[in-house]
Amino acid sequence: MARLNVSAILAAAVLLLTAPLPPVSAQERQAPVSLGQLQLSFAPIVQRVAPAVVNVYAQHIVENQNPFLADPFFRQFFGGVPSRQVERSLGSGVIVDPSGLVVTNFHVIRGASQVKVALADKREFPAEIVLKDPRSDLAVLRIKDAHDRFPTLQFGDSDKLEVGDVVLAIGDPFGVGQTVTHGIVSALARTQVGSSDYQFFIQTDAAINPGNSGGALVDMRGRLVGINSAIASSSGGSEGIGFAIPANLVRIVVASAEAGSHTVRRPWFGAKLQEVTPDIADSLGLKVPTGALVASVDADSPAAHAGIKVGDLLVSVDGTPVEDPNAFGYRFATKPLGGTAQIGLVRQGHQMTLPVTLQPLPEMPRDEVEIRSNSPFRGATVANLSPALADELQLDSQARGVVVTAVADGSTAQSIGFRPGDIVVSVNNERITNSAELERAANTGGRSWRITINRHGEQISVMFSG
């Protein structure tokens, strides 16, 4: 066996420790060793997905509110007569069906009387709005007067995104033309963004600016994982905090449009949920405040039929944990109709799972009618209130009766103060239960009116004299 020369080893160690280290940059950086490494680029992904991202131009008419134009004396100085102005908004969109179905943000086309879509190859087409869903801040358009098969983006599974994944944002910021930015997924399940009822956003540091709304957030396989929707900014421009609506929610809205529906058909749970505060967590014996606490259950709802009770702590949907009511709402709303969802819960310290049927909100004939008679309701459009319409108007799902769905500009109803969402309870002390009764009361009323409405849970009674 060879003997170790201890003196030689110690001498070598001293030389290693005292020798000057190479520069840090030389340790961290490497020169390219192949042509392939020099050519790494996002360009192949962009070339594949960019043709499916479009610009969306929306315009709507607003009344000129200059008070001087209403007076003939001042009109001679200001010129013209009371007129209308055209306001335009710019956003982005994504083609999701070869026939020309485009998804964008609802706030891009809100109030629009005319919509136009411009493709990446500079062609422009008029478009019609086929579905508006303010609750998710999404809308679906259809390109008109075109017989082409358009390029599309394939949906990715947004639930499989992880923080740190690289993503690309494509849209038309500030109207300068199609622009691509890149970044990473900064966070998932962001809430308190404020642009949607479904507070479950993808956060990214890919630059998103005004005009990007409705554009695509894609992964490294070129799949649509989100629709860019909002930014957090003190300057109005990108500061590295952008938010996108997850593709799994977008998919539900698009599927409703493809099925020919003008509204989104989502699973109905039928219970009000509240956040678990630290105090509530202590009272329930939880180590951390998590889950969604059932505050009330609607009668004859899927939750009621499944046996969900007030005080239950909902902790998962089909095995996926939910940390708060927003997470539960998103997970449940993105389940396909039909079948059941397994809801994990804790009841009095015992864990259990209950199957909840995935069925849509009950619908009924709306019998929508515009009141044209000389009455306080003139110019108001009213309809029979069903759970589905209550959900659409963001009202209490238990509310019933006749609801105002629209109020014409400049109408008697608008001047009196009626608003969409007002529920008409009674007219001249007679209970109103359907739109036909309200139309009849409006036609037969006299000069004095006593009207009771329900507005966001508050009962309001007013008197009018004509």
Residue 250 burial by Cβ neighbours in a 10 Å radius (0-12, 13-18, 19+): buried
pLDDT in tens, 241-273: 888 899 999 999 999 999 888 888 889 998 989
pLDDT of residue 2: 42
Judge if 351 and 303 occupy the same domain: yes
| Residue ending a domain, choose from 323, 357, 391 | 357
Give pLDDT tens digits for 304-332: 999 999 999 999 999 999 988 989 988 99
User: Is 408 in the same domain as 316?
Assistant: no
**Residue 408 belongs to some domain of the structure:** yes
Neighbours of 61 (CB within 10 A): 13
**Binning pLDDT at 50, 70 and 90, where does residue 69 land?**
very low
Which candidate in 92, 136, 213, 301 is catalytic? 213
In this structure, the answer to whether residues 323 and 373 fall within a common structural domain is: no
Annotation marks residue 298 as catalytic: no
Of 260, 259, 264, 289, which is closest to residue 275 (Cα–Cα)? 289
User: Which one of 107, 195, 316, 391 is the catalytic residue?
Assistant: 107
Number of domains in the chain: 4
Indicate if 246 and 277 belong to the same structural domain. no
53 with 122, same domain? yes
Is 380 in the same domain as 459?
yes
Selected catalytic residue, list 137, 205, 219, 324: 137
Instruction: Give kind and range of the element (H or E) at residue 249.
Output: helix 247-258
CATH code for the domain of 194? 2.40.10.10
The tokens of 235 are what?
């300057």
- Domain end among 357, 391, 409: 357
> Which residues, 6 or more positions from 149, have their beta carbon under 8 angstroms from its beta carbon?
98, 99
pLDDT in tens, 321-371: 998 898 998 899 889 888 999 999 999 889 999 999 999 887 777 888 888
Look at residue 150 and tell me if it is in a domain. Answer: no
pLDDT, averaged across the chain:
81
Indicate whether 279 pLDDT > 80. Answer: yes
pLDDT of residue 207: 79
On the question of pLDDT at 38 being above 60, the answer is: yes
More confident call, 353 vs 86: 353
Catalytic residue flag (residue 121): no
Residue 50 in tokens = 């960019």
Q: Which domain holds residue 86?
A: 47-143
Let me know if 426 is a catalytic residue.
Answer: no
- Strand 224-231 versus strand 448-455 pairing type: unpaired
The enclosing domain of 410 has a CATH number of 2.30.42.10
